[in-house]
Chain A
Amino acid sequence: MQLQLTDGTTTVTLSGTSPVTGCTYFPNTPDRKGGVYEDVTETAQVVLTGTAANIRTSVNSIERLFELAALRQAGGTNPKVYVNYAPVAETAHRSEILEGRVIWDTNPGLRRLSDTNPTVRIGVIWRRRFYWEGAETSLGTATVNNGPSGNTLTYNSVTGSLPAPVRLTLTNPGSSISTQKFYIANDVANLFATTDHFLYVAGGSESVTWSGSTSHSNNLWTINVPTALAAAMRGERYRVWAAFSSIPDNVYVRASVQTVISGVPNLGQAGGELIAGGNNGKQLMDLGALNMPPSGYIGTGAVFSIVLSFFAGFGGSATLLWVMIAPAHTTLDLRQAGYSIATDQAVVHDGIEDVDYLSLASKYPGIERTGELLLYPGQQNKLRLLWDEGNTFNAARQLSVAGVYRPRRLLV
């Protein structure tokens, strides 16, 4: 057995290094209430033999690590403290310690420090995260395109038993680009085939023109969800992104889900609005999340459409490239202010350490993040990426994406 407490700098081995002579420990299984796992409190019984000073030094080292763990939980920025454990001779798993304490044994004979070279027993009690993390595992590096010609990364060999965060390094292989927003969605259920998540206007022109004004009662683009896909969708919320090759400033864009029966549209659900143009709008627009189909799962034969509409007090025209949809609950949004990313420079999302940054000539903490990206063990994990460059969208851009994760398990 390997059992260590460490913050990366100080390591106390509880499974054998002097003055430790013995240790009894086996991880507890976390409780689960309301679908949420609870932190785990457990105890390692450690036997130490040596001088009182040595024993006291070891105990103090453990207590200092626990103090650092508590400080971290109170908002400190010191490194996390982990318990590293392996039941056999293998690479250990780690679990973050939240707090802990050391107690002397209740048997006076096992705490007689006044003896010469005493043998004592202590209880090392900690509260840790409910999961264990394995060693960092590379998911490889692949190139993705910013659009229908290949924006999917497939991570289908994720191990463990729990969803795990991922570190994605999004490296620019081409000339400098000033990216701004990145959207990364995980089609965990592999609902969409290679390019099924891109939807196009059927039987209509992608370019529309309106005169005078237009409102949301005017369906500018009606995008029929393919029958097979519609039959597989179960009423979950799906994020909707729309890419335009041209769109005027100051139009308000909205996505809705509608059922069209005999040419008569029936609004099922509408999302919020985004304004295009100025500092807010752009050619790639995140139009929020909608239930698809709005009725929930109705099986084969389901027919519904995604409708895009504008509110504008003026006439104009716009050209829609496509709409991309992805499950909403597994989406990560990254945003940087538009700094130029040169060749081989990168945007890094490190879900393992819960940080994001720009990796340029130096590392810059200039990334905002919303949402959470998790990889699901035993699933396909098809990551769909889109990114814009401020108000513009360029489908010809590419990124080289390297993925790393630590498998998460409840038990090791």
Chain B
Amino acid sequence: MAQFTVRLWDRNNLPIATPLRLRPLRYAWADVGGPETAEIGLEGSPADLVGALRWLGGSVRIVGEDGTPVWWGIVSEASFVADGMEYGLTLEGMANRVAVIYASNGASAITDWEEDTRSTALYGNIELIHSLGNATPAQAEAAAVSILTQKAWPRRLVRTAQGSTAGGRLLCIGRYSAMAWRYYANSIGRVAFEGEKEGEAILGWGFASSQFVGFHGKVKRICQLNCAMTGLRANDKIVVSGSTSNNGTFTVVEEAGIDGQVIYDGASGVTFAVTDDINDSNDLLNQFTVGEMFRVENTASNDGFWFWRTVGPEACTVRPNTVANEGAGGDTKLTQGNSVKVAETLTQESPVIGSKFVTILAHGQKLDQSFTVADGGTWVVGEVAVWVRRVGSPGDNLKVELCADSSGSPGTVLDSATVTGSSLPTRSVKLQVLLNRTATLNNNIYHLVVSRTGAASPTDYYLLSVDEEAGYSGGQLRLWTGSAWTARTVDADLHFEVWGHRETTAIIAEIATVYIGGASIRTAAGVYDRMYRAGTKTALDEIERLLPAGTSLGARLLAMVSVDNILIVEAAPATAAARWRNGRFTNLQGQPLARGLLPVGQWVALDVPIDDDRAPFSPLWLARCEYDVVGDTITPGFAEMSVWQVGELDEG
């Protein structure tokens, strides 16, 4: 049997001296994590064997016969045999820091950590977040205390001894899998606001140079013959320009009641009488609406724009009082548009074809939501999200810009991206927009500006979800009038998220540095992920979610804990580095590797008489391997993968 040595250190990294004889029995490696499990036999007096139970959480290293470390990790279980029974302690199932996640009033919440400080001092932090379901805060806190009481100390093992009548054993795990004991949280890299009350802010509504805009002074309605006023909502503000007497800003107090034009063509029964009467012998005038503007065409004396004062089937009155007497004509045409009512006073004003061009733009040609970064970090924005929907069929793009602050307004554009407007649904959804990672934020105020790349439209525009309780305290929502930023009539805040992104390998490095001791990234992934972590997943879960993404070039990433307790992250090799021959690993030239040295995470060439240029069988990927020290036997675990994949590799 090979001569192996076992070295032990306690949690303070002080060597453990023991009269016990420590004999490695078996150990295993995995291609992700490196040293995986080990079992070490103990021989000595019963009194000394009992002392081994105090080694839980300590470090262990198995050194091969030529002085090369062959396995390293942590003691997770210790036991000894006495009177046919095995007695032991294990860290498995233990938790000396406990929090409870629960649902309260439909929202997820988590308690503070409950900790047994004596246990954490002895064994380090072993954490558990228990999911309780619906509960009150008091219930959740009580549950955390209760679970901590049950789990704070190593679990006792008492079972019938199997296969041995004396001695003891240590079960050890690699530091990689021990990351399952800790939860990884990172509060840096996320600014988000989701209010409770849904509202919508209009974006990019308006029209330019319309000849069909009229102003009904008596009823404070701004009218448009093509029904362009559809889409404006109460409290929206609009800016009118190009009119004779009504340029300015107005607040909508009543939405348009009519969606489409009302056209009465071939109105053969319609007659006109001074000074404000229009009658219809066919009794069809009640299709029109009081207060709306309409146009008369194809008459001898009354062509032009009018506003309904009263409406009845056979008789109506209109404004202004300039109707001339005129009998029925065969092709008289009446066309009615729609209007919104505004709060401000209007001067009666009719369209003048060919000489008056009115432009109306709603506040909200751009939206600016300022936000505050206060997490103390410096991070690169990789992603923003807003809740948005389209109205109509915008032919332009929605644009999202991340801007520096300039005296309270958006300043330098730090990053931006666009989304095709027609790709947006007509029902509000969360729109996640990936940015170019050119904006680096730190504790400061920034602006998220949403705009459209094309011209304003009364039919094809966007609506963004807002919280009309304005519950976000880190900034405010402002609307671009076309010439200035202004507050929304009803104060609100955009529902938004801003996420910092980091390269996945940088995140892995941060996790490994905290929970293993260090990291060395040999291959940068070129793949990015959100850096913020709520802390509800273990460090191991996080790394095992990040590693499979590999690199941007499609390479597989491996992570192995080195003997110096550094997590080495690098792309999987492309060439074989060892050979499997007669139940032994050798180097490629055929010289045996040191006994117990397992080339896991490597391509291993096979000495087997299988060769086919189209689908070569060798090399194979050694994904896992176990070494039985006592029997000096190796159990390789070659990955099951297509020979076609293997065929792309070079044996050396």
Contacts and interface: CB of A to CB of B under 8 A. Distances in A.
Interface of A: 36, 71, 74-77, 215, 235, 237, 239, 252, 268-275, 280, 286, 288-289, 291, 293-296, 311, 313, 328-329, 331, 333, 337, 365, 368-372
Interface SS of chain A: strand
Contacts of B66: 237, 239, 289, 328-329, 331
Given A269-B589, A291-B592, A294-B589, 6 more contacts: A74-B166, A75-B19, A273-B568, A313-B520, A328-B66, A328-B594
A368 B166 CA distance: 26
B313 to A, nearest CB: 86
A239 B67 contact: yes
A331 B63 CA distance: 12
A272 B48 CA distance: 35
B384 to A, nearest CB: 31
B520 A252 contact: yes
A291 B45 contact: no
B589 A295 contact: yes
B591 A294 contact: yes
Contacts of B568: 273
Contacts of A295: 589-591
Interface in B1-49: 1, 3, 5, 7, 15, 17, 19-21, 43-45, 48-49
Nearest to A297: B591
Contacts of B518: 275
Nearest to B66: A328
Contacts of A252: 520, 566
Nearest to A235: B591
A75 B44 contact: yes
Interface of B: 1, 3, 5, 7, 15, 17, 19-21, 43-45, 48-49, 63, 65-69, 166, 518, 520-522, 562-564, 566, 568, 577, 587-594
Nearest to B166: A74
A371 B522 contact: no
Nearest to B44: A75
Contacts of B48: 75
A369 B69 CA distance: 13
A273 B567 CA distance: 12
Contacts of A286: 67
Contacts of B44: 74-75
Contact of B594 (A237, A280, A333): A237
Given A76-B45, A365-B17, A368-B15, A215 B590 contact: no
A274 B564 contact: yes
30 contacts: A36-B1, A71-B45, A75-B44, A75-B45, A76-B45, A272-B69, A272-B563, A275-B520, A289-B66, A289-B67, A289-B68, A289-B594, A291-B591, A291-B593, A294-B588, A294-B591, A295-B590, A311-B520, A311-B522, A328-B66, A329-B65, A331-B66, A337-B15, A365-B17, A368-B7, A368-B15, A370-B7, A370-B63, A371-B5, A372-B3
B509 to A, nearest CB: 10
Most buried by A among B49, B68, B563, B577: B68
A372 B19 CA distance: 18
A328 B64 CA distance: 10
Contacts of B520: 252, 275, 311, 313
Nearest to A292: B591
A33 B481 CA distance: 96
Contact of B564 (A75, A280, A368): A280
A369 B593 CA distance: 23
Contact of B577 (A75, A270, A273): A270
Nearest to B18: A75
B210 to A, nearest CB: 62
B589 to A, nearest CB: 4
Contacts of A369: 5
Contact of B562 (A36, A237, A269, A272): A272
A77 B18 CA distance: 11
B589 A296 contact: yes
Contacts of B65: 329
A75 B21 contact: yes
A333 B67 contact: yes
A372 to B, nearest CB: 6
A137 to B, nearest CB: 25
Contacts of B1: 36
B43 A75 contact: yes
Contacts of B7: 368, 370
Contact of A328 (B67, B521, B589): B67
Contacts of A76: 45
A313 B68 CA distance: 26
Nearest to A257: B587
Contacts of B166: 74
The list of the 5 closest CB pairs from A to B, nearest first, reads A75-B44, A328-B66, A295-B589, A75-B45, A291-B591
Nearest to B518: A275
A215 B522 CA distance: 8
A328 B520 CA distance: 28
A237 B522 CA distance: 28
A294 B594 contact: no
A331 B5 CA distance: 13
A370 to B, nearest CB: 4
A77 B48 CA distance: 10
Given A75-B48, A289-B66, A371-B67, A273 B589 contact: no
B20 A75 contact: yes
Contacts of B566: 252, 275
Nearest to A272: B563
B45 A275 contact: no
A288 B518 CA distance: 21
B516 to A, nearest CB: 13
Contacts of A370: 5, 7, 63, 67
A226 B66 CA distance: 23
Contacts of A289: 66-68, 594
Contacts of B17: 365
B21 A272 contact: no
Contacts of A36: 1
A296 B564 contact: no
A269 B594 CA distance: 12
Most buried by A among B45, B49, B589, B591: B591
